[in-house]
Amino acid sequence: FKFIHQRLLISGLRKNEWTHALGELYRTLVPGGWVQLCEIGRFDHARVGPACTKQLDLMQAIHDKQGLLLDIVAHIPAFLESVGFVNIRVDTRKFPFGKWAGRNGEDTRDNLLGVFRGLKGPVLKAGGLGFVKTEEELDALVSAVEEEWDNIPGGYVEYSVFCAQKPDSAVLARL
């Protein structure tokens, strides 16, 4: 392939699986080909209230329990370099969420809340991780997060796009 796009595997690959997965992308690219990875990043600037803080702490706990990296964006450049990619670039943007940020803020909010709801099964299977005890409590937490995000301006999430190149044939021949 000349170009491979991958996105949002933050909750799909364990820490020990990232290098292998990126190595497979590298292997299937032609020399000079590019990979593009898109991942959700930091939420910590989005702590707009106690429900959001609790939800983010719960997200960290479930990711830790599953061996996942909630801070994957901090690791991707090193992972890319470790499997041989060059010309590594990153572009990070902030996306506000909540009604206060208009239609785009509502769309971002809905996407993020969908992720939170999608982790309901693993969280409950793990016993709530000390944050919630029942499905009803978890639903109430997500509803409280939505309320905070809609009514307290300033929350955002970072989204990063990483591009990296497999060295061309001449460079590979020298390696």
Q: Which of 151, 154, 153, 126 is nearest to 138 (CA)?
A: 126
Tokens of 94: 């902030």
CB 174 within 8 A of CB 86: no
Measure the CA–CA gap between 165 and 26, rounded to whole angstroms: 9
Q: CA angle, corner 112, sides to 109 and 116, nearest 5? A: 130
Closest CA to 145 of 107, 103, 104, 117: 117
Coil/strand/helix, residue 163: strand
pLDDT of residue 170: 62
- Cβ neighbours of residue 42 under 8 Å, at least 6 residues apart? 71, 73, 157, 158
Count of C-beta atoms within a 10 Å radius of residue 40? 20
| pLDDT score of 49 | 86
Of 37, 9, 5, nearest to 115 by C-alpha is: 9
Euclidean distance between CA atoms 93 and 106, whole angstroms: 17
Q: Tell me the H-state helices in 29-132.
A: 50-66, 76-82, 102-118, 120-125
The pLDDT, as a whole number, for residue 48 is 73
- Please provide residue 11's backbone torsions phi and psi, each rounded to the nearest 5 degrees: -105, 15
**What does each of the 175 residues of the chain score in pLDDT, given as a tens digit?**
999 999 999 989 999 999 999 999 999 999 999 999 999 987 655 567 899 999 999 999 999 999 999 999 999 999 999 999 999 999 999 999 999 999 999 999 999 999 899 889 999 999 999 999 999 999 999 999 999 999 988 889 999 999 999 999 766 556 5
Give pTM, 2 decimals. 0.86
